[in-house]
Amino acid sequence: MRRTVADMHRLTAGRAEASSTYRITTARKSVADDQSARVRGYVISMTIRIACFLLAVVTTGVVRWVFVAGALVIPYIAVVFANGGREPVEDPPETMRAGLQRELPSGG
């Protein structure tokens, strides 16, 4: 019989050891997921830049210069976000905080 996560939660609810487990929601994204998200954002930004160039060619007046400005500014913004690095580290889970760690009893 396979148990689901909900079944395991019901089995451990109320037990003392359930409060000392790690919460997976505090884990950071993997490096591959983080890089693919940054690449996706960069590609979307460059697609918008290409659209700005094309719209600058077919429009006239002030609108043309707005699209030209967008095409010139978007690469800087895209590179800053793409090179921004990983998300900031949040507080560690409660079980990792120094004040809550239990010590082993002495061997004597």
What's the pLDDT tens digit per position in 2-51?
Answer: 666 555 556 555 554 445 565 566 667 788 888 888 899 999 999 999 99
* 49 found inside a domain: yes
pLDDT of the residue at 82: 84
* 107 found inside a domain: no
Is the pLDDT assigned to residue 1 strictly greater than 60? no
* 94 found inside a domain: no
What is the total count of domains within the chain? Answer: 1
Structural domain containing residue 74: 28-82
Handedness of CA 95, 100, 101, 102 (dihedral sign): negative
* 98 found inside a domain: no
CB neighbours of 3 closer than 8 A, spacing ≥ 6? 11
* 67 found inside a domain: yes
* 12 found inside a domain: no
* 20 found inside a domain: no
